[in-house]
Amino acid sequence: MSFKRIRLELARTDDFPEGSRNHGYEFVAPLGDDGYLDVEEWKRHRKKCTVYRFWQGDDDEHGFLTLTRSGSWAFSYSPGEEDDEPIFRFEAHPFGEGEYVSITEHDGVDRPFKVVSVR
């Protein structure tokens, strides 16, 4: 297990048919050798599990990877769950370059993101 910095960039959508390098996330999370989230390490080191959201035209946001009361994973930028961005089946995704993950953003839209780097 080691902490990794994972960069997600917007994948193809109707608005961005080629995807976008200017819209995405960078987050830090503990990954096992298999590329999956190590939940026990996350529990021990939550404050290390940060997220940075960059979205061209919007202010950058900084927050944390969190587990919600309902048991789903999300990116959270302030206390409470009102601003949380749920991540679909986060614990079931291997984080390797070329993999995809879906995030429901602030506007309620579920968007696909591509893993472009894991360092």
What pLDDT score does 81 carry?
77
Average pLDDT over residues 86-102: 92
Which residues lie below 8 Å from residue 118, measured CB to CB, with a gap of 6+?
Answer: 4, 5, 6, 7, 31, 35, 95, 96, 97
pLDDT in tens, 22-81: 999 999 999 999 999 999 999 999 999 999 999 999 999 999 999 988 888 999 998 877
68 vs 50: CA distance, rounded Å = 15
Q: Kindly state the tokens that stand for 47.
A: 């404050």
- Selection from 7, 9, 5 nearest residue 24 by Cα: 9
Quote the pLDDT of residue 79.
82
What residues have CB less than 8 Å from 105, skipping those under 6 apart?
85, 111
